[in-house]
Amino acid sequence: MTATTTTLRVVEAHARYYRRTWRGSVISTFASPLFTLLAMGMGLGLLVDREGGPGGVPYLTWLAPGLLAAAAMQTAAGDSSYPVMAGIKWTKSYHAALATPVGVPALTYGHFGWVACRLALSLTVYAVIMMLVGAVSPIRGLLAILPGILTGMAFCTPITAWVAQAKNDAKLPSLFRFVIVPLFLFSGTFFPITQLPGWMQPVAYFTPLWHGVELARGAAGVPLSPHFPWYVHTAALLAIVVVGGYIALRNMEKELRK
């Protein structure tokens, strides 16, 4: 089989497994976006809009694309941490796959491909919910999916690279506690980063979530902040995806070829 065929077989294997386990993701994929948008956008948003929404738009419209990008980060982090650790250390499913014509590159890129598919599915649901609550128009909501997928992949590849070389899962809770949650709170999802202390604002510029939030808002029709144009945000995220993917493949080769 060709490299493309084996990679697609890995994506298919992930899809077949998810077909039997998708019910466990219903809350995070469907209910969580709806309740978050209702509570933060339509609840808190009423108070924010009394003083004028950020960027001159209603708070719900401003918030929804940011939450979409943050959801992409959380989905990608979840699918690239414990499942990768399980495949290498616990269930040894990656080792089993290597007993077939599937090689480490196909295994790695197949994982990336499946995460991208998961992101497309979950973010499409998120975009539909955004439209239903009146946050964005249908076209703008669909356009926000692409930067959301790119944002998720900017977390998928470096997290996969890090997990592939980890000796055990002892540090995985710290990933979510000290990286994912702070990024969710302080990367411009809920308020402009100009409201952060002066020393924290340059730090936010180097976080992939901030670039993803800005891109998603731009695609949804919210004016971009004056810091950088859209192509700088895109280039930053693509650079993270490429570098993270290269290191992930190298670490997977090192770990699975022992």
pLDDT value for 54: 82
* Nearest Cα to Cα of residue 166 among 237, 239, 80, 106: 80
Residue 179 has pLDDT above 80, yes or no: yes
pLDDT value for 88: 95
pTM, entire model: 0.94
Residue type, 213: V
pLDDT tens for 118-166 read 999 999 999 999 998 889 999 999 999 999 999 999 999 999 999 999 9
Residue type, 67: L
Please give the Cα distance from 38 to 17 (Å, whole number): 32
Please give the Cα distance from 68 to 55 (Å, whole number): 18
As a whole number, mean pLDDT of residues 240-248 equals 98
Residues 240/208, Cβ–Cβ less than 8 Å: yes
> Domain map of the chain by residue range?
3-256
Residues 88/169, Cβ–Cβ less than 8 Å: no
Mean of per-residue pLDDT scores for the chain: 91
Residue 94 has pLDDT above 80, yes or no: yes
pLDDT value for 219: 95
Please give the Cα distance from 148 to 124 (Å, whole number): 10
Please give the Cα distance from 107 to 95 (Å, whole number): 10
pLDDT tens for 205-223 read 899 999 999 999 999 999 8
* Nearest Cα to Cα of residue 155 among 209, 87, 101, 83: 209
pLDDT value for 27: 73
pLDDT tens for 3-21 read 899 999 999 999 999 999 8
Residue type, 218: G
